Amino acid sequence: DAGVIQSPRHEVTEMGQEVTLRCKPISGHDYLFWYRQTMMRGLELLIYFNNNVPIDDSGMPEDRFSAKMPNASFSTLKIQPSEPRDSAVYFCASSAPGIRNTEAFFGQGTRLTVV
Amino acid sequence: AQSVTQPDIHITVSEGASLELRCNYSYGATPYLFWYVQSPGQGLQLLLKYFSGDTLVQGIKGFEAEFKRSQSSFNLRKPSVHWSDAAEYFCAVGLRNRDDKIIFGKGTRLHILP
């Protein structure tokens, strides 16, 4: 397996624009996590899914953020409208079923810059 | 509320010296415990994990960690660091209940002196 795949790797956008980040989890994994990493706040869990269903979105900072998982092999994180303070590295991770809280496998991240 | 504390934001050690990175957690029960490493521009990679049993856990790249229940700690150690160990290290806890979240500490950046 190629691991967790995120796209794009880098995104630069203007304030007010819509941004969509994409993630393909490892095949067979039924947990998918979206994290945001900044210097100030470290690694924050935004939302996670189990079997394509959102379980906990309490980490989503504002209504401008939304995430979907239409099927087991694809998830999106959308920011609309984007703001400069959304600039961060966004990571997607997935983990296997059967054992709760087992290892999470991370993608390489999307570095978002909002100017 | 559950939390993970890594008290050292930066640590600098000389190549060949020993290393210990601290991690403390706050949780009502014994959680699952992890250490991840992040190299520049990369995602996080699992170094080791503790679920139960032997409290001294061996990981990849020569790292080990010891779970101490009485201190709510899970410190990461390596007897002799290499320049390639320079990276950011994250301690994380997974919660043993219906909530399957993994909570990360803020990380410790390790610098290696030649």
Tens-place pLDDT, residues A71-90? 999 999 999 999 999 999 99
Chain A residue with the nearest C-alpha to that of B3: A44
Q: Amino acid identity, residue A29?
A: H
DSSP assignments along A1-21, one per residue? ----EEE-SEEEE-TT--EEE
CB-CB under 8 Å, B101 with A45: yes
Q: Is the pLDDT of residue A108 over 70?
A: yes
Distance of CA B30 to the CA centre of its chain: 16
Q: Is B41 in contact with A31 (Cβ distance < 8 A)?
A: no
Instruction: Assess B54–A contact: CB distance below 8 Å, yes or no.
Output: no
pLDDT at B103: 83
Q: For chain B, list residues with pLDDT below 70.
A: 96-100
Give the residue from B48, B101, B103, B106 with the most A CB atoms within 10 Å of its CB, the best one to mutate: B101
What is the pLDDT at residue B16? 97
Q: Which 8-state DSSP code applies to residue B1?
A: -
The answer, yes or no, to whether residue A27 has pLDDT greater than 90, is yes
CA-CA-CA-CA dihedral for B10, B12, B16, B20, to nearest 10: -40
Q: What is the pLDDT of residue B3?
A: 85
Q: Which residues of A touch B44 (CB under 8 A)?
A: 43, 91, 93, 104, 106
Apex A108 CA angle, A104 and A110, nearest 5: 115
* Chain B closest-CA separation from residue A12 CA (Å): 16
Can you read off the two tokens belonging to residue A94? Answer: 């997935």
pLDDT tier for residue A60 given thresholds of 50, 70 and 90: very high
How does residue A101 score in pLDDT terms, banded at 50, 70 and 90?
low
Instruction: Give chain A's contact residues with B (Cβ, < 8 Å).
Output: 4, 31, 33, 35, 41-43, 45, 48, 50, 55-56, 91, 93, 99-109
Does the pLDDT of residue A102 top 80, yes or no? no
The residues near B47 (Cβ < 8 Å, ≥ 6 apart) are: B34, B35, B36, B37, B59, B60, B61, B63, B65, B76, B89
- Report which of A20, A41, A49, A33 is spatially closest to residue B105, judged by C-alpha positions: A41
Backbone angles phi, psi at B61, to 5 degrees: 60, 25
What pLDDT does B100 receive? 64
Q: Which of A50, A100, A109 sits opposite B43 (nearest CB)?
A: A109
Decide if B46 and A103 are in contact by the 8 Å CB cutoff: yes
